[in-house]
Structure 1
Amino acid sequence: MPTPADDAPPIEPIEPIEPIEPIDTGDLRALFSRCGWFNALAPEHQALVVAQSHAEHRDAGDWVARRQAPSEYWIGVHRGLVKLAIYNASGRGCTFSGVPSGGWFGEGSVIKRELRKYDVIAIQRSLVLFVPTTTFHALLDSSLPFTGFVIRQLNNRMGEFIASIQNSRLLDVNARVAQSLAQLFNPDLYPDTGATLAISQEELGMLVGVSRQRINQALQHLERLGVLGVAYNQITVVDLPRLTAFGMEQI
C-alpha cells in the first residue's frame, strides 16, 4: 500500500446512503465511549461530540465518503473495515490504506477544510462514526487532550503512508502482504484490532492489490514460519514483531 486496486466501484455520482437503522443518543455515547480520545475529553466536550455527531451502517461495497467532495466529517470505524482509495475515469485505482475497527482518518483534510483526497469504501459491513468538521475544530480550539491526540494521529498516519509507498515499490509480494497486515495491527492507529482480525483473503487482496490466490500463498508462507495463524475469514498474529520486520531486509 498504496497498491493497484483490482476492482473499482462505479465512479458515477450516487446519492448518499441512509442509515440502515437509527442510532439514538444513548447508543451513540456508548459507541464513542470505546474511543480513547473521547474518554480523555472533559464532560462538556463529550456532550458536544454526542450532540453533534452521528453513526451510520455501511454494507460491503458501499461508499462512506467521496473523493473531491467537501470534508464535512472526521470519520471513525466503530466496527468493520474500510479502504481509502482513488480511481480514475477508466476504473483503474490505487488503494492507500485499510482502516479496521477503532481507526479514525481524514483529520488532515478536515483541518485544512479542503476537498477529500480519496474515496472511502466499506470492504466489510461497517458501523461508521461521523464527527462534523465544525465540532472537530471546536475541540481542536478548546481541548488540550484532543489536540494532543490529533498531533499523535497525524504523526502516526504520516509514518504509515511513508512506509506504504516504500513497501509498494521495494518489497516482494510476500513482504507486502506481511507489511499490509502489520499496519492493520498498529496499536497506535487501530487500538481495537487485538490479536485476531476478521478479514477474508479476498478482502486482504483488495488492500494489497493482488489476487486472492496470491494472498493465500503468502499467508501460507507466513503461517509456516510461525508468524501468524490463518482460519476461515480471520487472521491471528502470533508474533507481531516478526510480522512487522518481515521482508524489511529487502530495503
Structure 2
Amino acid sequence: MNKTVLKTVLGRNNWFAGLPSELADDILRLGRVRRLNDALIYSASDCADGIVALVSGQIRLTSFSVSGQPSFLVLTSPGSWIGVTSALDGRPHGYDAFAVGETVLFQLSHERFNSLAGESVERYSAFVRLLCDHFRVTTQSLIIHRNRRPLYLLARELLRLADRHGKQAKNGVVIELRLSQEDLAVMIGVGRQTINRLLKSFEQDGIVSTSYTSLTIHDVAALERLRSSEDPGEV
C-alpha cells in the first residue's frame, strides 16, 4: 500500500496526526499491512502482539458475559488503533477483535513496538498518550450512559456511526454495516425490546429506515436535536 495513502488514513486519528514526524515515519516504516476477511484479529485471552490500526473495513471489539451473552460491543473506524493496553502491560486483551468482511489493517509488532517505545522517555510517553485518549473516551461514554435516556443514546450512536461509516445518498446518509438490533442494544447498554421500540418510532417519524445490511438516516437534523437534549430521565 502507498505510504502516503496509509499516512493520510492514519492521520484521521488525532493521536497519530499529533505525533512528531520522525516517530510517525518510524511507525510507518516498521509496521506492516495485513488483509483479512471475516477473521479473528486476536482473542480476549491473547497477550500482547503489538498495536493495530484499521485502514479500511470494520473491526468489532466484543466481550462476553459468563453466560455467553455479549456485554460490550464497539465498532472502530478507519484510523483507529487497538491493542495499546496489552502492548504496554503485556497482559491479555480482555476482549475479542474481529475483522468483519474485507478489512485492511496496519500492525506494529510487539517487538518493534517495544523497540520504538524503549528508545526514549518521549517516545514511550507518546504511546501512553494513546492509552490516555482511549481512557478519556471510555470515561466519557460511561458518564453519558449513566445519565442519559435511551432515546438520546440511540440518537448519539446513530450520528456517530453516520459520521464514521456513513455515505451520502439521495435519500439520506446510508450506514452500510451488518448491525442487528441486538448489536445496537449492546452498544448503548439497553435491552433489545427498547431498541426495537425506538427504531419503530424513528421509522414512523421518517427519521430512519432499516434493512438487513444497512440503516439509512433520512433526517439527520432530527437526530441532532435529540442528541442536544439534556433530559436525564428515562424513556
Question: TM-score, length-normalised on structure 2?
Answer: 0.67
% identical equivalent positions: 16
- 1:222: Cα distance to partner? 4.4
C-alpha separation in 1, matches of 2:137 and 2:166: 16
Q: Unpaired segments of 5 or more residues in structure 1?
A: 1-25
Alpha-carbon distance between aligned partners in 2 of 1:146 and 1:222, rounded to the nearest angstrom: 46
Task: Tell me if the contact between 2:59 and 2:100 (Cα under 8 Å) persists in the aligned partners.
Answer: yes
Counterpart selection for 2:82 from 105, 118, 133: 105
More contact order relative to length (CA 8 Å, sep ≥ 6): 1
Deviations 1:71-92 (A, max 9, x none): 2121111112222222356532
How many residues align structurally? 217
Distance 1:77 1:32, change over 3 A: same
Number of the residue aligned with 1:238 = 220
Deviation at 1:161, TM superposition (A): 2.2
Q: TM-score, normalised by structure 1?
A: 0.63
CA-to-aligned-CA distance 1:199-244 (integer Å, 9 cap, x gap): 3463564253355x86565345446778x65576244582475454
The 2-side partners of 1:244 and 1:144 are apart by 39
The equivalent position to 2:21 in structure 1, one of 42, 47, 63, is 42
- Is 1:218 equivalent to 2:193 in the alignment? no
Specify the alignment match of 1:54 in structure 2.
32
* SS in structure 2 of the partner of residue 202 of structure 1: coil
CA distance in 2, matches of 1:149, 1:173: 34
Distance 1:149 1:157, change over 3 A: same
Q: 1:120 deviation in Å?
A: 0.9
Equivalents in 2 of 1:220, 1:114: separation in Å? 43
Alignment counterpart, residue 91 of structure 1, candidates 68, 73, 82: 68
Cα 1:48–1:88 change in 2 (3 A) is same
Q: Choose from 96, 114, 122 the match for 1:119.
A: 96
Q: What is the distance in 2 between the residues matched to 1:139 and 1:194?
A: 37
SS in 1 for 2:157: helix
- Is the 1:48–1:135 contact (alpha carbons within 8 Å) kept by the matching residues of 2? no
The equivalences for 1:167-206 within 5 A come to: 173-184=150-161, 196=173, 198-200=175-177, 202-203=179-180, 205-206=182-183
Structure 2 residue corresponding to 1:157, chosen from 119, 130, 134: 134
Residue identity in the other structure for 1:116: H
Rounded to whole Å, the distance in 2 between the matches of 1:39 and 1:214 is 40
* Larger CA deviation: 213-222 vs 101-110: 213-222
Which of 51, 55, 68 is 1:74 aligned to?
A: 51
RMSD over aligned Cα, in angstroms?
4.1
Contact 2:167 2:174 in 1 (8 A): yes
Query: Partners of 2:49 and 2:73 in 1: how far apart?
Result: 21
Q: Deviations over 1:50-105 (max 9, x none)?
A: 34322223334x21211121121211111122222223565323124221222222
CA contact under 8 A between 1:76 and 1:105: conserved in structure 2? yes
What amino acid is aligned across from residue 50 of structure 1 in structure 2? L
- Specify the structure having the higher radius of gyration (Cα): 2
Which residue of 105, 116, 136 maps to 2:113? 136
- Amino acid in the other structure paired with 2:80: G
Residues 21-43 of structure 1: CA distance to partner in whole angstroms, max 9, x if unpaired? xxxxx435532332222685435
